[in-house]
Amino acid sequence: MRRKFNDTGVCVPEKHFMADTSEKLAQIFELVEDGSYFTINRPRQYGKTTIVYLLSQYLKRQKAFLFLELSFEGIGDKIFETEKLFCTNFVKMLSQELHYLDEGELAEYLDDQKDSIITLDTLSGLITKLVNKTEKKIILAIDEIDKSSNNQLFLSFLGMLRDKYLVSNTKLEKTFYSVILAGVHDIKSLKLKLSPDTKGKLNSPWNIAIDFNVDMSFNPREIEVMLVDYSKDRGVKMNTAKIASKIHFYTSGYPYLVSKICKVANEVLLPLRESKHWDLAIIDDAFRYLVDETYSTTLFDDMAKNLENNAELYQLVFDIIFNGKKVSFNVLDPIINLGKLYGIFDHENGRCKIHNRIFEQKIYGYMLSRKSRETDMLAGVTTSRFFDGDDLALKEVLLGFQQFMKENYSTKDVKFLEREGRLLFLSYLKPIINGHGFDFKEPNVAEERRMDVVVTYNHQREVVELKRWEGEAYHQKGLKQLCEYLDTYSLQHGFLLIFDFRKEKVYKSELIAVQGKEIFAVWV
C-alpha cells in the first residue's frame, strides 16, 4: 500500500508521510522516565493521539516499561452511572490492553478479579496488586479525556490516582509509574468535590501533574523531513527547505494543517498540473483551496461554532482581525484562555495573535459572510462600472464604496465606524469579485492600525491598504510602507482606503506619486 498524507485519525509511519517527531518524543520520554504524571492538553487535531501512539511504540521497545493505552472515545455515559459500572469496565479495558500486549498472565489475573471490583477503593487495591505482579514499570495513558472530564465519578477516579501517587512517594503503596492524560482541556483546572457535605471545599483531582511544555507544533525543519521522505518515495522534485518554510508560513506548524495542505497539494492540485514536481506556487494554491468559502472540514466547522457560541470571544477575534486591536496574551483572562483552548489564539511578543494564516483567513471569510447577510450593499448599483473588460476596476470600486458610505453612514457615530468600517468595505467588495476573484488579509497591522488586503481577479493582482487617518506624519509613513509592500508583489501601483473619523473630514480622492509608484487614495 502506498503511503499518503493523512488528515484523519492517528498517523502511522508505515502508512503515512509524517513530520519528524523525534525531539518531541524524546522530551516526553524524559517525563515518563522520571515517573511524572501529566496532561497533553492541546486543541483539536493537534497530534495528541498520534504522539501517544508513537510513544507507545517507542516504549514497547524498552523492556523496563509496560505501556497501557486506553481511550474514552465512544464509551458513552453509561459506565459513569454507578461506581460499580465504572470500576468493572475500567478493569475490562485494562485486561483487553494486556491481552493485546501478550501479557496473558496479568490479563487473566484481571479477568478473575473484575467482578469483585465494584468501588474505587477496591479498584485502588487491584492497581497495587497488578503493579506488584510485574517488574516492569506500568505506564497508563488515557486518550480523549474530554469525553469524561465533566463527570464527577471520573474526577473521583483521578483523585484516587492522585492519592495513590502521593502515598507511593513514601513507598507505602505501589501504583502506576507514570500517568498520561490526553485531551483538549487541562484536567488540572477541573475541581472535585471532596464529599457531598463539603459544598464549598473544592480541590483539583490532578494537582500532582507537572506542566507539559513540549512544543507540539512542527517547525520548518520537522516539516522538511516529511517532504524529503515524500520526495524520495514518489520521485517528486522540490526545494524541500523553501517549501517547508512556505507550509509553516501558512500553518504555523499546526499538525493537522501541515498534513492537510500537503494532502491537497498532492492529491487535488498535482494531478491537474503538467509538471509532477512541487514548487512554491502549489503551496499557495493549496492555501487558497483550503480557505475558499466553499470548502470546510470538521475543524473549521468547530471553529465557527465556538465563535458563534461565545459572543465575547467573537468580538475579541473580530477586533484583532479587522481593527488591529492589540491585546496582551494572558491565559488568566478566561476569554483569551478559551481562544487558546480552541486553537484560535497563539502569542507573539507578549501579544495575542490568530494562530495561523489559514485560521485567520477562514475566520475573516466567515465574519464577512455574516456581515453580507445583514444588508445588500449593492442594491440598485450598476456593477458594470466596476469592470474594464475582463479586469477589475478597483479604482471604481473604491469610489463606489465612498459614495455608499457618504449616503448611508455619514451620520453614524465614530465608535461604530471605527469598529465596523473595514468590515463594511470588505463586505462591499466580496460580491463584486465573487466567482472570479479572491481577497485575503495579510496579518501585518502596524501601529497606525492598517490592514493590507490582497485582491486577485482572474490573472490580476492588486493591493489595498485600509487604514485610519492619524495625521499627516503617519500618512506619509504609511505611504512608504505601502510602497515597500508593493515591492514584495512587484507592483507599481496600489490603493489606499483611509477611514477619517474627524468631524471636519472631506470625502475626496487623489492619485499620489511615491517612490516611483502610483497610489490611488480615497477618504471615507
Q: Is the pLDDT of residue 201 over 50?
A: no
Q: How confident is the model at residue 119 (pLDDT cuts 50, 70, 90)?
A: very high
* Residue 414, C-alpha cell as written in the block: 465614530
Phi-psi region of 2 (alpha: psi -120 to 50; beta: other; left: phi over 0): beta
Reported as a single tens digit per residue, the pLDDT across 228-265 is 999 999 999 999 999 999 999 999 999 999 999 999 99
Per-residue pLDDT, 443:
56
The residue type found at 106 is L
DSSP state of 216: -
* pTM exceeds cut of 0.95: no
Strand order in the sheet with 437-442: 437-442, 451-457, 460-468, 493-499, 517-523, 509-514
Under a CB-based contact definition with an 8 Å cutoff, are residues 235 and 224 in contact? no
Q: What number of CA atoms fall less than 13 Å from residue 167's CA on the CB side?
A: 14
Reported as a single tens digit per residue, the pLDDT across 293-339 is 889 999 999 999 999 999 999 999 999 988 888 899 998 999 999 99
Per-residue pLDDT, 503:
82
Under a CB-based contact definition with an 8 Å cutoff, are residues 67 and 86 in contact? no
Residues 6+ apart with CB under 8 A from 367: 318, 321, 322, 423
Per-residue pLDDT, 371:
78
Element at 486 (helix H, strand E) = helix 472-488
The residue type found at 63 is K
Residue 500 CB neighbours (<10 A): 16
Alpha helices in 135-190 (DSSP H): 152-168
CA distance 515 to 65: 67
Q: What number of CA atoms fall less than 13 Å from residue 1's CA on the CB side?
A: 9
Q: How confident is the model at residue 355 (pLDDT cuts 50, 70, 90)?
A: very high
Reported as a single tens digit per residue, the pLDDT across 268-302 is 999 999 888 999 999 999 999 999 888 999 999 99
> What SS3 class is residue 72?
coil
Mean pLDDT over 470-480 rounds to 90
